[in-house]
Structure 1
Amino acid sequence: MPGILAISGSPSPTSRTARVLDHLAARLTDTGRHEVTILGVRDLPAEALIGADVHHPAILAVGEAVAAADGIIIATPVYKAAYSGVLKALLDLLPQYALAGKTVLPLATGGSVAHVLAIDYALRPVLTSMGAAHVVPGYFLLDTLIATAPDGSIALAETAQAGLDGVVTAFLAGLPVATPA
């Protein structure tokens, strides 16, 4: 069963980005064909991220999780036309070619369509420089298309869900096929 590491690059405890990632992970897990692990960068020790401590056990554990995954989903809110600073701090601490051989799906959320190019002009070059074998077309979700229920779950507008489903299909097609035991 292909393993997927889903990384939320949001620093917010009430993050729509993290909720979108949870929503996506649940859908992938429900198929029974994928094992999804979610990592919130905001849950990593700030002193390790800010102090650039590549030897911190939490940072080493992230590196191991990345190495073990067949595919990586990286989700980030867009701030100042780029991905989040906490995500940048984490990516800077991973080995140069941490994504070598990986299929990567970049996702972004934001409050304005003016941020839609942040994936291609800010995030994709970093993912490529880290050796990703295949960075599939990413997807930008406008905040207004993400409805949050009282229980914290989300519902996406039909057009947003359809677009997300399309990029996820391309991502899954890039993962290795599980061999029967």
Structure 2
Amino acid sequence: MSDIIIVSGSPSDNSKSKKVLNYLGTLLEQEGFSIRHISVKDVSKDVLFEGKYDSPEIHHIATLLQESKGVIIGSPVYKGAYSGVLKTLIDLLPQDVLKHKPVLPLMTGGSPAHLLALEYALKPVLASLKAHNLKGLYFIDSQIDKQGEITIIDEDTLKRTKKQLYYFAKLAK
């Protein structure tokens, strides 16, 4: 069992949201948590496209989520919401898969204009899975360095991120 499950909703191998999620996982590992990463890219296309909610893959993901102490879930903003492939994965999971689970939602976007996608798109769907949603994190492209060891390059954003992350960690313990 992993303490924290990190779910990437990005269909891209080289996305900013995936880079930030990996960085948060590293910070949590330094705090003694075991981390497991799940990407929408890891789920078979036929399972997602054909809506195979009873597949062994979906059952395995649901079990990992249910047995974890906390979940971080992130996505880039697409058309004012989270990625469609993340929505497809979420739709296949059991209705109460995140019941009483601290969940830290995260989104990345090109500008602050899509900040509300976190509040009006991602957080409500996580709440429908019975998640204990935390405040959440939103990053714009200029705050992220995909090449560097420290992914979040804006000092104020990094401070705010660590504050949210350590609050999440406290709830997960």
Alignment of 1:86-165 (within 5 A): 86-132=85-131, 134-149=132-147, 153-157=149-153, 158-165=155-162
Which residue number corresponds to residue 53 of structure 1? Answer: 52
Separation of aligned partners in 2, 1:2 and 1:19? 20
Separation of aligned partners in 1, 2:92 and 2:75? 17
**Change over 3 Å in CA distance of 1:30–1:169 after alignment to 2:** closer
Separation of aligned partners in 1, 2:2 and 2:92? 25
The TM-score with structure 2 as length reference comes to 0.94
Contact 1:19/1:154 (8 A) holds in 2: no
The TM-score with structure 1 as length reference comes to 0.90
Q: Secondary structure at the match of 1:108?
A: strand
**Change over 3 Å in CA distance of 1:153–1:89 after alignment to 2:** farther
Q: Secondary structure at the match of 1:26?
A: helix
Structure 2: state its 5+ residue gaps: none
Separation of aligned partners in 2, 1:130 and 1:47? 23
Which residue number corresponds to residue 8 of structure 1? Answer: 8
Structure 1 position 166 matched with structure 2 position 143: no
What are the superposed Cα offsets for residues 8-42 of structure 1, whole Å, 9 maximum, x if unpaired?
0000011111111111101110222x111111111
Show structure 1 runs of 4+ deviating over 6 A. Answer: none
Structure 1 position 73 matched with structure 2 position 72: yes
Separation of aligned partners in 1, 2:64 and 2:127? 19
Answer 1 or 2: which has greater strand percent: 1
Contact 2:21/2:74 (8 A) holds in 1: yes
Aligned CA RMSD, in angstroms, stands at: 1.6
Quote how far apart the aligned CAs of 1:124 are. Answer: 0.9
Contact 2:2/2:64 (8 A) holds in 1: no
Query: Identity percentage over the alignment?
Result: 40
Contact 1:6/1:36 (8 A) holds in 2: yes
Q: Secondary structure at the match of 1:161?
A: helix
The one-letter code of the counterpart of 1:144 is: S
Structure 1: state its 5+ residue gaps: none
Q: Secondary structure at the match of 1:83?
A: coil
Quote how far apart the aligned CAs of 1:169 are. Answer: 2.0
**Change over 3 Å in CA distance of 1:85–1:154 after alignment to 2:** farther
Q: Secondary structure at the match of 2:11?
A: coil
Separation of aligned partners in 1, 2:89 and 2:18? 16
